[in-house]
Each structure stands twice: as C-alpha cells, then as structure tokens.
A and B are shown apart, each in its own frame.
Chain A
Amino acid sequence: MLEAYVPILIFVFVATGFAIFTLIMSGLLHPERYNKVKLEPYECGIEPETDARDRYSIRYYLVAMLFVIFDVETVFMFPWAVIMDELALFGLIEMIVFLFILVVGYVYAWRKGALEWA
C-alpha cells in the first residue's frame, strides 16, 4: 500500500533537491559586485521605513481565525460529499443544520465588521 506513495516521495526529493541545487549553483557562479542600492530589500519601489518586525494589525488574526474555523467546516464536508448518494435526503438535512449553525457565526462576524479591512 505504501508503494503508492513512492511518486510523492520522489516529487518531494526532486523539489527539495532542485531548491538546494539552485542555491548552491547560483552561489558558486554569480559575480559579487554589491552596492548600497542592490542590497536594499526592494531595488525599485518604496524605500522601507521601519523594521519588518513591527506590530501587525489585529485584523490579520481575525482573518486567520475565520479561515481556520471555515477550514474545519470544509473538512467536515469532504466525507459528506463523497457519500452524498448513500446518505440521500437524510445527509442533506444533516448538512443543512450544520451549515445553518455556522452561517449564524458568519453573519455575526459580518455584522461585527470582522471581515472589513479598512
């Protein structure tokens, strides 16, 4: 059974190997001629004003939290979708109840402005 995962393993090795190979090769081959502009985080564009390790807005947390909650919701929906035919109407009602409860939360989040970015 585990043999079925050999292609994935090869894929992982090739992906990692390619990244390491590229880093090493470009490190060996590239000429080293630095100047101040080249070493800036963005060669063209807005100059960075503060350190990247600054406090972030709490909205990032809210978005990530909502993502996790709805992620778990989809996880519950995958097995339901696979056996939809066998469960028939019963399964549909189950899932409607499940979704209704979560939509209540979604409406709450919306009304409280958790989804607004501005």
Chain B
Amino acid sequence: MAEAIVFYGLAALILGFAVLVISTRNTVHSALYLVVNFLLVAMLYVMLGAEFLAAIQVLVYAGGIVVLYLFVVMLVNLKRPPETHQDPRRQTRLGLALASALLAELAAIIVYSATGESAPAATAAAAAGADIAGGNVEQIGMLLYTNYLIPFEVASMLLLVAMIGAIVLAKREL
C-alpha cells in the first residue's frame, strides 16, 4: 500500500517535471527541471532495489551532466531568445502525431502482454542469479569485471574518444 502511494506520487512528479523540461521557454529553467527529474528517477531506482544506480544517477547526471548543460546554455547565451520567431517549417503537428502513434503502439504492446500469458515468475532466474552473493554494488562489480570485461574496457575507449573529440571541437578558442 505504502509502496503504491510512493510509486504513483513519484511517477506523477517524474512525468510532470519531464513535461516542464520540454515545455519551458527559458533554457536555464529547463536544465533545473531536468535536475529535479533526475533526482526523482534516482528515488525510483531506490524503490527498484538498485542502490548503486541511484547513487551514480545523482553523481553523474544530476551532478555532472546537468552542470555541463548549464555551462553550455550560458555559453550560447543569445540576446534574442531562441524560438521567438515563428518558423513556417515548424513541425509541431507532425511531431505530436508521431509521438501519439508511438504511444498507441506501446499501449498495444502493454495490452497484448497483459492479456497474454504472464511473465514467468522470477524463481528460476533468481536461482541463476543467487550464486552472486553480497550487496548490490558487489553484485554489479562481480558481473562488470568478469562477464562484461570487454565492454568495460571499450567504455574507457569511448570516454577517451569523447574527451579528445570534445577538446578538438572546443579548442579553437583556446
């Protein structure tokens, strides 16, 4: 019961702040709503028992990526606010139509999966996963540094490329 109240409250807030992110005129306000949205999603991870994910959500998203966004908003500060001029090619209607088509598609999938046979209980999978003991972070670490060793090293390569790419793109003014 308590879980249901917390979930519905969080869900309403998450969706509400997401709508604010995409609907606000002021880009700085958008970034601030994005922080709130990320923090609420972190709470959702806690409810799902993914504590490590919640921690890095706050650490990387709310603490790092949004700061990057804010700096870029400051850097491209325009004297004339963007989107004030009415653009004839503005494709709001097409966008909303595409989004609602996608929504219908997803609704169909949900209805189909709800009426079809229910997902098998987690017992078999739990037995498979139970051999990894310890808390959430230990489990993630065990999997990350054994089964997913190559993706882990590739991730470092990706970060390297991103760093060099960003420096090259921004360097001209240095």
Contact = CB atoms under 8 A, between A and B. Distances in A.
B156 A83 contact: no
A58 interface: yes
Contacts of A102: 156, 159-160, 163
Contacts of A108: 163-164, 167
Interface string B151-174: 011011101101110110011011
Interface in B126-150: 134, 137-138, 140-142, 144-145, 149
Contacts of A75: 56, 59-60
Interface stretch (A16-24, A27-35, A41-49, A93-101): A93-101
Contacts of A83: 134, 138, 141-142, 145
B19 interface: no
Contacts of B2: 2
A113 B174 contact: yes
B160 A105 contact: yes
User: Helix, strand, loop or mixed for chain A's interface?
Assistant: helix
A22 B134 CA distance: 44
A113 B174 CA distance: 8
A62 B170 contact: yes
A92 B159 CA distance: 20
Given A56-B75, A94-B149, A101 B174 contact: no
Given A5-B46, A62-B170, A113-B174, A82 B141 contact: yes
A20 to B, nearest CB: 16
Nearest to A103: B160
Contacts of A66: 163
B74 to A, nearest CB: 4
Given A72-B159, A102-B156, 18 more contacts: A2-B46, A62-B174, A66-B163, A68-B64, A72-B60, A73-B156, A76-B144, A80-B145, A87-B141, A87-B145, A94-B149, A94-B153, A97-B156, A99-B156, A108-B164, A109-B163, A112-B171, A112-B174
B108 interface: no
Interface residues of A, number: 45
The size bracket of the interface on B is 35 or more
Interface string A51-84: 0011110111110111111011111101110110
Contacts of A98: 152-153, 156
Interface of A: 1-2, 5, 53-56, 58-62, 64-69, 71-76, 78-80, 82-83, 86-87, 91, 94, 97-99, 101-102, 104-105, 108-109, 112-114
Looking at B59, B159, B162, B173, which has the most chain A CB atoms within 10 Å of its CB? B159
Contacts of A78: 52, 137
Given A61-B170, A75-B56, A79-B138, A91 B156 contact: no
